[in-house]
Amino acid sequence: MGAKGEVTTEISNFCLEDLLPHRGNMLLIDEILEVDETHAVTSAVISESFPLFSEGGVEPLIMVELAAQTAGVCNGLDRMKTQGNDSSNLGWLVGVKRAQFFIDYIPLGSTVVTRSQNVHNYENLREVSSVLHVDDTVIGELTLQLFKA
C-alpha cells in the first residue's frame, strides 16, 4: 500500500496532487486502488479532519465529495495523457443528478472504497456513476455531472 497521496498502480510516477486540485484537509482520498481513463477506484479512511465530522463519524453528504474526487482521478489521468503533464489542473464543476445514501453517518476509522466510472463523455461534460462501500456493504450510489470550464 502506498502512503497518502501515492499512486500504487502503473502510473506510479504521478501522485494525487498531479491528478486533483485538492490540497490539505480537502484531499480526502488516501490511495488509488485502480485507475484508467474511464474509471477509478479509491480508498479513504474516515478521520476527524474530514469536513462534516461530528461525534464519531461523518455525515453521508461527504460521499458526494469522495465520488467527485474519485472521478477526478480518472479524468485527471485522461487530461494528462491527452494534454500533457503540464496541463491545467483546475478541476471540474460538479452537479448531483442522483444520490442515494444508505447509512446515517460513516463511522470514524471506516475505510470507504469508491468506484467512479464515466458513463457518458461529451467533450467538457461527463456523467459519472459512483458506488461507495464500507467492507462489503454499499453505503451510497450517486450519479454526478461534471463540467470542465
Residue 137 pLDDT > 60: yes
Whether residue 9 is contained in a domain is answered as no
The 10s digit of each residue's pLDDT in 91-116 is: 778 999 999 999 999 999 999 999 99
Q: How confident is the model at residue 45, as a pLDDT?
A: 97
Q: In CATH, what number is assigned to the domain containing residue 116?
A: 3.10.129.10
Number of domains in the chain: 1
Whether residue 4 is contained in a domain is answered as no
Whether residue 115 is contained in a domain is answered as yes
Q: What is the pTM of this model?
A: 0.84
CB of 7 closer than 8 Å to CB of 16: yes
Q: What is the mean pLDDT of the chain?
A: 84
Domain assignment of residue 134, given as a range: 16-147
For residue 84, what are the contacts with CB-CB under 8 A and spacing of at least 6? none
Q: How confident is the model at residue 81, as a pLDDT?
A: 67
Residue 7 pLDDT > 60: no
Whether residue 81 is contained in a domain is answered as yes
User: In which band, very low, low, confident or very high, does the pLDDT at 55 lie, cut at 50, 70 and 90?
Assistant: confident
Whether residue 1 is contained in a domain is answered as no
For residue 148, what are the contacts with CB-CB under 8 A and spacing of at least 6? 75, 92, 93, 124, 125
